[in-house]
Amino acid sequence: MYQDKKVVFSGVQPSGVLTLGNYLGAIRNFPKFSEEYRCYYCVVDEHAITVRQNPADLRRRTYETLALYIACGLDPEKNVIYVQSHVSAHAELGWILDCYTMFGELSRMTQFKDKSKKNADNVNAGLFTYPTLMAADILLYQTELVPVGDDQKQHLEITRDIAGRFNSIYGDVFVIPEPFISKTPSARIMSLAEPTKKMSKSDENENAIVRILDPKDVIIRKFKRAVTDSDTVVCAAEGKDGIINLMSIYGALTGKSFPEIEQEFAGKGYGDFKLAVGETCADVLAPIQTEYARLVADKKYLEEVMANGAREAAKSAMKTLSKVRRKVGFTDLPRY
Ligand code: TRP
């Protein structure tokens, strides 16, 4: 069923619950990709341990992240949904690619610089080589398209550089991946506390982010507290970043355009508008939350999905890895 389809690969860290920004900006569009593409969704637990994790929490969040993806509409029958550490080819190709990646180019990665500052007591080698493991994730599946946010663009660039370098030495081994720009324009959701900053699931201020699993009263409270301006009119005017962000969210949730939203709230205050955004948001997320609760209680099912996904992923990954092993000069004997 997958033959001749272009490959899309996406990785998600099992850390923190995904936000409304992740949902409206990306995940919501994922389910329909499977009609046109062969899609891999990988929970990247190996990437997660580049910062210190509580083992029990990491294990639990791996299940939860998988459950949330399925609850958001990703059908495990139509997509390959799996866990990174279940397919050993990732770590193996990661090592090989380390040897084709320069110290200098890894030193220039802004995420490495940021995370080194945040984790000054644990600037480990894995944090430094994070991008080569990510390159392995992508290149193992001969991926053509990677849906990436701004924060991961540099990592996709270095993946392209590494793949190009490898190909120029050994011939066409890897497909060079491109960023995936969705045909349906997706919303760019900003922080509720600082509306010029993107909503990030790792924000320290919980009031800045709405999480997909936040209960209704929490969602409404967060929208009530959203930073706006001292004006009173709901309109998309210059300098009204907070209101524009709420209008984008409301628009993405309802399908309404800015002029339609302006009309709907003409003569009403920010309080009414914020309440409407909060309630609409809670209504849209409710069915996802119900489905999530059902899935996360069914560990056996989640493990079945993980096992099937890993088996399916490993088939494609092994093809690429075998080729790479031959190219670099490893012997072709049974491996244990
Ligand atoms: N680095 C990504 C993030 O932090 C996660 C990731 C790992 C990824 N491997 C990937 C994303 C491959 C896309 C493709 O969000």
- The verdict on residue 281 lying in a domain is yes
Q: Does the beta carbon of 11 sit less than 6 angstroms from any atom of ligand 1?
A: yes
Residues 99 and 193 in one domain: no
Tell whether 271 and 324 lie within a shared domain: no
Q: Residue 14 is part of a domain; what is its CATH number?
A: 3.40.50.620
Give yes or no for residue 152 CB within 6 A of ligand 1. yes
Domain count, the chain: 2
Asked about 201 being catalytic, the answer comes back as yes
> Is residue 183 within 8 Å of residue 35, measured between CB atoms?
no
Residue 237 lies in a domain: yes
Tokens of 105: 């180019």
Is there a domain that residue 335 lies in? Answer: no
DSSP secondary structure code for residue 41 in this structure: E
Please check whether residues 310 and 233 belong to one and the same domain: no
- What does the pLDDT profile of the chain (336 residues) look like in tens digits? 446 899 999 999 998 789 999 999 899 999 999 999 999 999 999 999 999 999 999 999 999 999 999 999 999 999 999 999 999 999 999 999 999 999 999 999 999 999 999 999 999 999 999 999 999 999 999 999 999 888 899 999 999 999 999 999 999 999 999 999 776 667 789 999 999 999 998 899 999 999 999 999 999 999 999 999 999 999 999 999 999 999 999 999 999 999 999 999 999 999 999 999 999 999 999 999 999 999 999 999 999 999 999 999 999 999 999 999 999 999 989 889
162 and 255 inside one domain? no
Q: Are residues 106 and 211 in the same domain?
A: no
Q: Are residues 211 and 97 in the same domain?
A: no
**Closest protein CA for atom 10 of ligand 1:** 11
Q: Are residues 196 and 322 in the same domain?
A: no
pTM to 2 decimal places: 0.94
Same domain, yes or no: 58 and 178: yes
CA-based max dimension of the chain: 76
CB-ligand 1 contact for 140 (6 Å cutoff): no
Ligand 1 pocket: which of 7, 8, 12, 43 to mutate (most atoms within 8 A of CB) = 12
Q: Same structural domain for residues 86 and 164?
A: yes
> Rounded to the nearest 10 degrees, how much is the dihedral formed by the CA atoms of 223, 228, 231, 235?
-70
123 lies in some domain: yes
Kindly state if the Cβ of 47 falls inside 6 Å of ligand 1: yes
Note whether 70 and 76 are within 8 A (CB). Answer: yes
CATH of the domain at 249: 1.10.240.10
Q: Range of 82's domain? A: 6-182+298-328
| Cα(336)–Cα(325) distance, integer angstroms | 15
Kindly state whether residues 25 and 167 are assigned to the same domain: yes
Instruction: Tell whether 230 is covered by a domain.
Output: yes
| Residue 336 is assigned to a structural domain of this protein | no
Cα 227 to ligand 1 centre (Å): 30
What b/e readout covers 205-230, taking b as 16+ CB neighbours within 10 angstroms? Answer: eebbbbbbbbeeebbbebbeebbbee
**198 catalytic, yes or no?**
yes
